[in-house]
Copies of this chain bind each other. A is one copy, B any other.
Amino acid sequence: MSFLTMKTLHSVLGEMKEKFAHIALECEVVGLGQAPGRVLAADVVAAEQSPGFDRSCVDGYAVVSGDTFGASESVPCFLKVLPPAQMGMATKVSVGRGEAVYVPTGAQIPAGADAVVMVEYCEKLSQDTVAVLHACAPNTNIMYKGDDCGFGGLLAARGTRITPLHIGIMAAAGVTDVPVYIMPCCAIISTGDEIVGLGEPLPLGCIRDVNTHMLGAELEAYGCRVTSRRIVGDSFGEIRAEICRAVCEADIVLISGGTSVGDKDYTRAAIEAVEKDSVFAHGIALKPGKPTIVAKVGGKPVLGLPGQCVSAYIVFKMVVQPFLDSLCGISGGLPHLTAELTANVHSAPGKLTVLAVKLNYAGGKFYADPVHGKSGLISHLMASDGLILIGDRREGLTSGEIVDVVRL
C-alpha cells in the first residue's frame, strides 16, 4: 500500500490562490431587481446624496431654535405661522426670528430654520399664531442633506453579497445598476462502481449517488451554474474521458470518489493522464477530508473530493467554498457564534479536525454537545446544528472550553 503526503489546509488554500491567480471572473451589470444574492464585482458608491435636502424627521414647526429657549407649558413662546411646507416640493418660504412654518415628516426645512418642534409640543392658537410649549436645541429633528449618504460615499464594497438592505441603501442613493460577478460554471463527476443514479433500480451492494445532488445544490446556492452531473464507474479510461470533457465545458471540475491510494482509486492517475504533473496537492491534514486532490488542468481547478458524502461536504465547506470566496473577494467576517463545549472530545493530532455539534441554548448562553456516532453518516450531520474546528496541534478539546461554531 502507499501513503499520502499531507499538506495543511492553510497551505493548500494558499497554493490554490497562487496557482489560480490568473482566473479573473467575468462580470455583468444588472438592475437592482436582479441584484439580491449576487456578489459585487466593484465598490458601489452613492450616485446621489441621500437625502438631497434638509428634511424634517417629524411633523412639527420649523423654527429658529433660539426663539424656543426657555419655553415651557406654563411659559410658551408665541410664533407667527407662515404658509406650510408641502411634501415633495421645494419649500420656498423662509423662517426668521419669531416665525414658524409647519413641516410634515420628510418635507424640506425652510431656509432660516435650525430646528423642528414636534407638533405634540405646539398648540395652534389661530390661523397665524402657534404656541410652542417646549424648548428645543439647534438641529433638533432635522436630517441634513447627505446625512444618510453623501455623494460618492461607499455603499457596499467589492466582494459583498447583496442583501435586501443593500438594495435599500442603493435605491436611496439613486443607484440603478450594479456590477456583479458571473460565478464560475462547474461540472461534477461522481465516481464508483457502487454508485447508482437517483430513480434508477438499486441492486444489492449499490448506494445512491448523493454527491452530484448535494454538491450541485451547494454550488447553485453559491451562485454557480452546474453544467453537468455525471456518474462513472471505477474505470481509469472512463474517468479520464469525463475529466477531459468536464475541463472543456466548465470553469471548475469537482470529482468525488477514487481519491485515496487504493487499487481502484483512479482519480489522481486519470487527472494526470489528462495533464501530466497537474496535481499539486494530494492529501490534506484534515479530518474528515484527507483524501483530497487539487490539480490545475488547462489552467482550470480540478478538485478530487472524498467519495464518502460527509467527507465530501466538509471538503466543499473547507476547500471549495473558501476558494470560490477568494475568486470573488468575499472575506471571512465574524464567526457565526461561540458556545461552551459540554464534553471532552478527542481529535486527530496532526490534522485539523472538524466535529459536528448539537447546540443548546439556555440562560443567554449556547452549549455545544459533540455529536458522536459512526463516521460518515449524513444523518448525524443532519442532527447537528454546527461544526467546530480543532487545530492540528491539539489532541482534543476539554469540556467547558469556548468554541467557535459554524452554523449548518
Write the chain B residue with the least CB distance to A361: B334
In the complex, chain B residues whose CB is within 8 Å of the CB of A375: 57
In the complex, chain B residues whose CB is within 8 Å of the CB of A53: 204-205
Copies of the chain in the assembly = 2
Given the known interface contacts A57-B375, A168-B378, A382-B166, the answer about A88 and B174 at a Cβ–Cβ threshold of 8 Å is no
In the complex, chain B residues whose CB is within 8 Å of the CB of A262: 59, 104-105
Report the minimal beta-carbon distance from A387 to chain B, rounded to whole angstroms. 11
CB of B147 within 8 A of CB of A176, answer: no
A330-B155 Cα distance, complex, nearest whole Å: 33
Chain A residues with a Cβ closer than 8 Å to the other chain, count = 101
Tell yes or no: A172 within 8 A of B by CB: yes
Contact with B along A161-173 (1 / 0, CB 8 A): 0011111111111
Choose among B89, B172, B206, B217 the residue that contacts A167 (Cβ–Cβ < 8 A): B217
Question: CB within 8 Å of B: which of A205-259?
Answer: 205-211, 213-218, 220-221, 233-234
Given the known interface contacts A165-B381, A336-B337, A408-B165, the answer about A171 and B364 at a Cβ–Cβ threshold of 8 Å is no
A350-B43 Cα distance, complex, nearest whole Å: 42
CB of B37 within 8 A of CB of A221, answer: yes
CB of B52 within 8 A of CB of A204, answer: yes
A385-B192 Cα distance, complex, nearest whole Å: 45
Question: CB within 8 Å of B: which of A94-124?
Answer: 104-108, 119-120
Tell yes or no: A272 within 8 A of B by CB: no
A36-B214 Cα distance, complex, nearest whole Å: 10
A120-B262 Cα distance, complex, nearest whole Å: 12
Report the minimal beta-carbon distance from A56 to chain B, rounded to whole angstroms. 11
CB of B104 within 8 A of CB of A264, answer: yes
CB of B338 within 8 A of CB of A364, answer: yes
A275-B262 Cα distance, complex, nearest whole Å: 73
In the complex, chain B residues whose CB is within 8 Å of the CB of A377: 143, 147-148
CB of A1 within 8 A of CB of B119, answer: yes
Report the minimal beta-carbon distance from A361 to chain B, rounded to whole angstroms. 5
The 8 closest A-B pairs by CB, nearest first: A168-B214, A164-B217, A88-B194, A88-B193, A337-B337, A364-B402, A90-B204, A87-B193
Contacts A1-B120, A48-B208 given; 10 further ones with Cβ under 8 A?
A: A33-B213, A88-B192, A88-B203, A89-B203, A104-B262, A165-B381, A167-B217, A168-B211, A168-B217, A171-B208
